[in-house]
A and B are shown apart, each in its own frame.
Chain A
Amino acid sequence: MRYLPLTDQDRSDMLARVGVSHIDALFADVPADKLLKARVDLPARKTELEVSRYLGALAAKNKAASSGPFFVGCGAYKHHVPASVDHLIQRSEFLTSYTPYQPEVTQGTLQYLFEFQTQVAALTGMDVANASMYDGSTATAEAVLMAHRVTRRRKAIVSGGVHPHYVDVVRTMSHMANDGVDVLGPDLHASEDIIAHIDAQTSCVVVQSPDVFGNLRDLTPIAEACHKNGALLIAVFTEAVALGLVTPPGDMGADIVVGEGQSIGNALNFGGPYVGLFATRQKYVRQMPGRLCGETVDAQGRRGFVLTLSTREQHIRREKATSNICTNSGLCALAFTIHMTLLGEAGLKKLAQINHANAVQLADLLGAVTSVEVINTTFFNEFTLRVKGNAAQVVEQLAARGILGGVPVSRLLPGKGLDDLLILASTEVNTSDDRHQLVQALRDICGAA
């Protein structure tokens, strides 16, 4: 077997050295009737070529985003990632290293984490960021738990503009922890009065901007109301590229900012692995979940980096830890930070402008189609379209024409009477031809005009 270096001769020599005659003697503590006598009922080994064929055939059954016009967003976005990013993250020293528990031989990982933390803090307009979470949704649930610790209250209020999967993750966590959670109904036009829900038991308010329907939201009055009532504002985003062009949550008074970092440096990957971003104010740093990398010096006085404030973490604090997270998204954070370093703020701003311009052009084209209607007043690179008919069926018909044309709201919010809504995203990968194909197809499917 190509991955196993021991030969049969090695094995018998080594068994003799260990002092047993058969490998099963080393499994003597396994109850004899539980030790498997026959091979498990699974196929025999395959060569590299056979595995390539087998998995290649499965991959070929899926329609790749790059194979045609593509407008799907809702928490994961297709962007162009420079070739150097994927090359660098596959360097053995990054790819096959463990969590940097021995800092003398993991300064590479630690330095890029320090740079990553700095970039995330600057992007979100916050003081500090951690070394990553699993994804945006779990980061949001962790932010709610952190707000409960900070405020010593146990009730979260969640906006109707938050991604429904994120809401479900928060709801699941809150139910399991016996915490209160008040989720507002779907808020298509960013018109909910969330401030009216804040009371003396409220630990935090969770608001997403751009929201799942694409609207940009003013967080400032919500932050003020939160602070007046001793609650924290948790700001969520799912499209990190937006931060190149829109006011960062930190400038609008957010106390914790969480989001999905997939957009920068990472592929769609059918939903994972992604990278959760988590930033907060300096005063709350000791209540943060997850790993933190900090600057220090070595015995010779040279600058170096270590994992720090680990007294918050599970391997030290056990049941009193701020979170149970251990493995996070190190390599996805590396992809994020390399792509971000390539972009710089000048490049990020330009990228965000192109995204916005493409989405505006698409919205303008759709504005001329009478059977559909863009419901947003504001948006970044994603907006919601009201279509004539059932959006889920429209999406299937678009797919039949080779166009991946957005997410029907009913897939995320079934049974809410929102069957005619379609969420469309347009990034820099869309060409003018892609947009015209989509618009023409919608014209055909939803009725000419």
Chain B
Amino acid sequence: MMNKEGRPTTPKAETSGEHQTFTGNRALQMEEPLIFETGRLDVSGVDFEEPAPVASRLGSFARKGSMGLPGLTEPEVMRHYVRLSQKNYAIDAGLYPLGSCTMKHNPRLNEAMARLPGFADVHPLQPVSTVQGALELMQDLSRWLMELTGTKAVALSPKAGAHGEMCGMMAIRAAIEARGEGAQRTVVIVPESAHGTNPATAALIGFSVRAVPAREDGTVSVEAVKAVLGPDVAAIMLTNPNTCGLFEPEVVEIAAAVHEAGAYFYCDGANFNAIVGKVRPGDLGIDAMHINLHKTFSTPHGGGGPGSGPVVLSERLAAFAPVPFIRAGKTGLELVEGEGTQAFGRMCAFHGQMGMFVRALSYMLSHGAEGLRQASEDAVLNANYVRVGLADLMSQPFGNKPCMHEALFDDEWLKGTGVTTLDFAKAMIDEGYHPMTMYFPLVVHGAMLIEPTESESRASLDLFVATLRDLAQAALRGDADRFTGAPYHAPRNRLDETRAARNPVLRWTPPVAGVEAQAAE
């Protein structure tokens, strides 16, 4: 059909197949060069007044020569970064079922609150009398965290989960030293299924790591813990709910055994989103636990941070919390920054991730006590709904039983199909989904850890399950092509990681005439 000006209004025929383009672009998907390839050294996208002429006080330290850093004008900058952004998957664009990462909705109210000048435009070292509202907010957040975890103290300053782990383990180390057992208690027990950060943290602060195996059902037994406990043990680091998506049923007995042996219980709180408002880790006997505000309390992951990892502490460890901390004084709130306490030291400059504190408190206030419990229940329900929807096709390493907020599958069901967990994950990309966490936990072969979070509607879950079922059936019927070259429709096909590691190119360098021809050989 044509309209009266002769413009076609219906497509001619069904189009298919790949068409090369001159630019390499594919409509909305643009190829984008590096800023170093388009920018110019004498260009700036910021206008300045001329600096006042003054006699330099730089001494002999004036920088000479060019840095080789080009600038772009504002329109060029907007286009560069908008095009880059369009090559990223994001929660706002679709379901992001990364197990152990809790990719939930990031409310925009939180962004607006964190940008209030009274929070964002405040210096950490301006007089304490001028930041009473900031300290009050930190106290408010502390109260929520202590109440939700059933603990007596909280150190807010750690900058992310692994930093929180380090803080908690340092508090344990300080408590042990205060007992005069520093030289004796040098071992930390870590289950084989733990996050890599746990053994890395223990090792960083001078502990040696002793592994404890899990049972056939994916949980740790109190007997297994007792078997590795001894007078040389400082602590156990246990994730609960654990990395297999299961609540540790003997956690109370494990805590008692650990305490009886004179050691402390560090709980990795990465999976706290399953149990907020349902059970309090302090009631289970933990001594320290970090909370990833960027997981459980919705502060955005930002492409890999910033996070925030406050650590709650039991009464036994509270006195050893690092500086700074807040206390009530005669004329208002005070910030304790220095010596004269039992504090084990300092985790970072200043007072922690204030921007994340505001966002997390905004999230908590929005939900309220009931809403937080409901969110955890929905997260667990959604995970089980996905699990049940896939259970007849995909294999579960620990049998067909309820999980917490993440559903774990292994690759047993893929045997003989020629399709691996990696292939399956990459095929999900073509279907418009970010893959689940893969090959973690390490104790499960070809692991696929799916965490849908509470942010997904039933319709979203139904489509996700239907998609995964379609993929699974394709794998099982031998349609390997759909997987082994996947993703076909992403901005890039699979990338050569071996080449990247063997000959690391970690920065742009200007092309040298003549070298390019050589390199191409």
| Interface status of B466 (Cβ within 8 A of chain A) | no
Whether the Cβ atoms of A115 and B34 lie closer than 8 Å is yes
With a cutoff of 8 Å between Cβ atoms, the chain A residues found around residue B51 in the complex are 350, 353-354, 356-357
* Residue of B64, B170, B209, B367 most packed against chain A (CB within 10 A): B367
- Bound state CA distance, A72 and B123, in angstroms? 7
Across the interface, name the chain A residue whose C-beta is closest to B166.
A324
Question: B90 contacts A93, CB within 8 Å?
Answer: yes
Interface residues in B119-155 by Cβ distance below 8 A to A read 119-127, 129-134, 136-137, 140, 144, 147-148
Q: Does A346 make an interface contact (CB < 8 A)?
A: yes
B90 touches A95 (CB 8 A): yes
A34 CA to B147 CA, complexed, in Å: 15
Q: Mark B337-357, 1 if CB is under 8 A from A, else 0.
A: 111000011111111111110
Contact A332 B304 (CB under 8 A): no
CB-nearest residue of chain A relative to B380? A26
Among candidates B294, B348, B356, residue contacting A135 with C-beta atoms closer than 8 Å? B348
- Tell whether, in the assembled complex, residue A28 and residue B402 are in contact, meaning their CB atoms are under 8 Å apart: yes
Report which of A45, A106, A177, A395 forms a contact with B368, defined as CB distance below 8 A: A45
For residue B293, give the distance in angstroms from its CB to the closest CB of chain A: 11
Decide if B82 touches A91 in the complex (CB within 8 Å): yes
A29 and B249 within 8 A (CB):
yes
Q: Which of A35, A106, A132, A168 contacts B346 (CB 8 A)?
A: A168
CB distance from B44 to the nearest CB of A (A): 3
Q: Among the listed B58, B71, B166, which residue makes an inter-chain contact with A380, where contact means beta carbons less than 8 Å apart?
A: B58
Cβ of B492 and Cβ of A34 under 8 Å apart? no
**Which of A14, A27, A103, A378 is within 8 Å of B495, CB to CB?**
A103
**Residues of chain A lying within 8 A (CB to CB) of residue B492:** 103-104, 107, 298, 302, 304
Q: Is A401 an interface residue (CB 8 A)?
A: no
Complex contact B367–A54 (CB within 8 A) = no
Give per-residue flags for B387-420: 1 if the beta carbon is below 8 A from chain A beta carbons, else 0: 0110000000000001010000000000000000
Say yes or no: is B455 at the interface (Cβ < 8 Å to chain A).
Answer: yes
Query: Across the interface, which residues of B come within 8 angstroms of A353, CB to CB?
Result: 51
Asked whether any CB of chain B lies closer than 8 Å to the CB of A317, the reply is yes
If over half of B's interface residues share one DSSP class (helix, strand or loop), that class is named, otherwise mixed; here it is loop
- Flag whether B497 is at the interface (Cβ < 8 A): yes
Determine the chain A residues whose CB is within 8 A of the CB of B445 once the complex forms: none
The verdict on A145 contacting chain B, using a C-beta distance below 8 Å, is yes
CA distance A61 to B380 in the complex (A): 39
Q: Shortest Cβ distance from A67 into chain B, in angstroms?
A: 8
Give min CB distance, A366 to chain B, whole Å: 13
Contact of A15 with B381 in the complex, beta carbons under 8 Å: yes
List the A side residues contacting B504 at CB < 8 Å: 285, 292, 294, 308-309
B385 touches A17 (CB 8 A): yes
Report Cα–Cα, A119/B189, bound state, in Å: 42
Q: Which residue of A lies closest to B108 (CB)?
A: A90
User: Is residue A191 contacting chain B, with contact meaning CB distance below 8 A?
Assistant: no
Is the CB–CB distance between B35 and A341 below 8 Å? yes
Max chain B Cβ within 10 angstroms of own Cβ: one of A93, A121, A131, A327: A327
A356 touches B57 (CB 8 A): yes
Contact A313 B196 (CB under 8 A): yes
Determine if A296 and B84 form an interchain contact, defined as CB atoms under 8 angstroms apart: no
User: Is B105 close to A, CB under 8 A?
Assistant: yes
A165 to B95, CA, bound (A): 41
Kindly state whether residue B59 has any CB partner on chain A within 8 Å: yes
Interface size of B by CB at 8 A reads 209
Asked if A122 and B35 sit within 8 Å, CB to CB, the answer is: no
Judging by beta carbons under 8 Å apart, are A94 and B85 in contact?
Answer: yes
Please, how many angstroms separate the alpha-carbon atoms of A109 and B201 in the complex?
27
Chain B residues with CB under 8 A of A93: 85-90, 92-93
Contacts of A269 in B (CB 8 A): 114, 119-120, 122, 353-355
Task: Check B278–A35 contact: CB distance below 8 A.
Answer: yes
* Interface membership of A375, Cβ < 8 A: no
Q: Which of A175-221 contact B (CB under 8 A)?
A: 175-178, 209, 216, 218
CB of A449 within 8 Å of the partner chain:
no
Chain A's nearest CB lies how many Å from the CB of B412? 22
Q: A433 an interface residue at 8 Å Cβ cutoff?
A: no
Q: Are B92 and A92 in contact (CB under 8 A)?
A: yes
| Chain A CB within 8 A of B162 CB | yes
Instruction: Evaluate contact between B147 and A41: CB separation under 8 angstroms.
Output: yes
Contact B48 A354, beta carbon cutoff 8 Å: yes
A17 contact set on B, CB distance < 8 A: 385, 388-389
- In whole angstroms, what is the CA distance A314 to B204 when docked? 11
Minimum C-beta distance from B368 to chain A (A): 3
Partner of A356, one of B54, B251, B284, B384: B54
B44–A102 touching, CB < 8 Å: no
Residues of B within 8 A of A359 (CB): 57
Partner of A42, one of B34, B69, B369: B369
Q: Mark B55-77, 1 if CB is under 8 A from A, else 0.
A: 11111111110111111101001
The reply to whether the CB of B179 lies closer than 8 angstroms to some CB of chain A is no
Residues of A in contact with B, size category: 35 or more
- A26 to chain B minimum Cβ distance, whole angstroms, is 5
Is the pair A326, B197 in contact by a Cβ cutoff of 8 Å? yes
* Count: A-B pairs, CB below 8 Å: 710
Contacts of B42 in A (CB 8 A): 344, 346
Which single member of A56, A70, A270, A338 contacts B354 (CB below 8 Å)? A270
Q: Are A75 and B350 in contact (CB under 8 A)?
A: yes
Q: Is A155 part of the contact surface with B, judged by Cβ < 8 Å? A: no
Asked if A334 CB lies within 8 Å of chain B CBs, one says: yes
A384 within 8 A of B: no
In the complex, A165 Cα to B159 Cα: how many Å? 15
Contact with B along A347-374 (1 / 0, CB 8 A): 1101101101111110110000000000
**A5→B458 contact, CB < 8 A:** yes
Contacts of B389 in A (CB 8 A): 17
CB nearest to A288 among chain B residues:
B506
Contact B58 A356, beta carbon cutoff 8 Å: yes
Contact in complex: B381, A26 (CB < 8 Å): yes
Contact A20 B402 (CB under 8 A): yes
Choose from B130, B195, B381 the contact partner of A18 (Cβ within 8 Å): B381
Task: Give the CA-CA distance A315 to B82 in the complex, in Å.
Answer: 31
> Which residues of A1-36 have CB atoms within 8 Å of chain B's CB atoms?
1-6, 10-11, 13-15, 17-20, 23, 25-31, 34-36
A204 to B380, CA, bound (A): 50
B314 on interface, CB distance cutoff 8 Å: no
Do residues B170 and A272 form an inter-chain contact, with CB atoms below 8 A? no
Shortest beta-carbon distance from B217 to chain A in Å? 10
Q: Say how far B207's CB is from chain A's closest CB, in angstroms.
A: 9
Kindly state the separation between the CA atoms of A115 and B33 in the bound complex, as whole angstroms. Answer: 11
Task: Select A324's contact among B204, B367, B455, beta carbons within 8 Å.
Answer: B204
Residue A114 at the B interface, CB < 8 A? yes
CA distance A172 to B160 in the complex (A): 17
Decide if A137 touches B348 in the complex (CB within 8 Å). yes
Contact across chains for B429 and A272 when beta carbons are under 8 A apart: no
| A357 B52 Cβ-Cβ under 8 A | yes
- Asked if A344 and B71 make an inter-chain contact with CB atoms under 8 angstroms apart, the answer reads yes
Q: How far apart are A215's CB and chain B's nearest CB, in angstroms?
A: 9
B228 within 8 Å of A (CB atoms): no
Minimum CB–CB distance for B152 against chain A, Å: 15
CA distance A31 to B251 in the complex (A): 9
Q: Is the CB of A104 within 8 A of B490?
A: yes
Query: Is B362 at the interface (CB under 8 A from chain A)?
Result: yes
Bound state CA distance, A363 and B195, in angstroms?
Answer: 52
Let me know if B448 is at the binding interface, CB within 8 A.
no
A119 to chain B, nearest CB (A): 6
Q: CA of A97 to CA of B455 in the docked complex: distance in angstroms?
A: 15
What would be 25 A-B contacts, judged by CB atoms less than 8 Å apart? Answer: A18-B385, A35-B278, A45-B370, A52-B113, A56-B116, A70-B123, A72-B126, A76-B124, A84-B77, A96-B103, A98-B303, A104-B487, A107-B492, A165-B346, A165-B350, A268-B124, A295-B505, A297-B496, A298-B494, A318-B209, A327-B294, A327-B304, A331-B305, A342-B46, A353-B51
The 3 A-B residue pairs with the shortest CB-CB distance, nearest first, are: A344-B71, A59-B118, A172-B345
Known pairs A45-B371, A82-B45, A315-B197 / 19 extra A-B pairs, C-beta < 8 Å = A2-B366, A11-B381, A46-B366, A78-B123, A84-B45, A92-B90, A103-B492, A106-B89, A127-B507, A298-B492, A298-B493, A299-B496, A302-B493, A327-B292, A329-B305, A346-B44, A347-B44, A361-B52, A415-B339
